[in-house]
Chain A
Amino acid sequence: TQLLEQSPQFLSIQEGENLTVYCNSSSVFSSLQWYRQEPGEGPVLLVTVVTGGEVKKLKRLTFQFGDARKDSSLHITAAQPGDTGLYLCAGLDSNYQLIWGAGTKLIIKP
Chain B
Amino acid sequence: ETGVTQTPRHLVMGMTNKKSLKCEQHLGHNAMYWYKQSAKKPLELMFVYNFKEQTENNSVPSRFSPECPNSSHLFLHLHTLQPEDSALYLCASSPNLAGAVYNEQFFGPGTRLTVL
What chain A residues lie within 8 Å of B90 (beta carbons)? 42-43
User: Chain A at the B interface: mostly helix, strand, loop or mixed?
Assistant: loop
Q: What's the tally of chain B residues with a CB closer than 8 Å to chain A?
A: 21
Specify which of B4, B97, B101 is in contact with A42 (CB 8 Å cutoff).
B4
What chain B residues lie within 8 Å of A97 (beta carbons)? 45, 98
Which listed segment binds A: B13-21, B64-72, B74-82, B105-113? B105-113
Q: Quick one: closest A residue to B38, CB to CB?
A: A102
Contact with A along B73-104 (1 / 0, CB 8 A): 00000000000000000101000011101111
What chain B residues lie within 8 Å of A88 (beta carbons)? 43
Which listed segment binds B: A11-19, A44-52, A74-82? A44-52
What chain A residues lie within 8 Å of B45 (beta carbons)? 97-98
Is the C-beta of A40 less than 8 angstroms from some C-beta in chain B? yes
Give B30-80 interface residues, CB cut-off 8 Å to A.
40-43, 45
Q: How far is the CA of A21 from the CA of B104 in the complex (A)?
A: 21
Specify which of B98, B101, B110 is in contact with A50 (CB 8 Å cutoff).
B101
Q: How far is the CA of A102 from the CA of B110 in the complex (A)?
A: 17
Q: How far is the CA of A38 from the CA of B109 in the complex (A)?
A: 10
Q: What's the tally of chain A residues with a CB closer than 8 Å to chain B?
A: 24
Interface positions of B (Cβ within 8 A of A): 4, 40-43, 45, 90, 92, 97-99, 101-110
Closest 9 CB pairs between A and B? A42-B107, A96-B98, A31-B101, A100-B42, A100-B43, A45-B104, A102-B42, A30-B101, A43-B107
Seed contacts A33-B104, A44-B107; 20 additional CB < 8 Å A-B pairs: A31-B101, A40-B109, A41-B107, A42-B90, A42-B110, A43-B90, A45-B105, A45-B106, A48-B102, A88-B43, A92-B103, A96-B98, A96-B99, A96-B103, A97-B45, A97-B98, A98-B45, A98-B105, A100-B42, A101-B42
Interface positions of A (Cβ within 8 A of B): 4, 9, 30-31, 33, 40-45, 48, 50, 88, 90, 92, 96-103
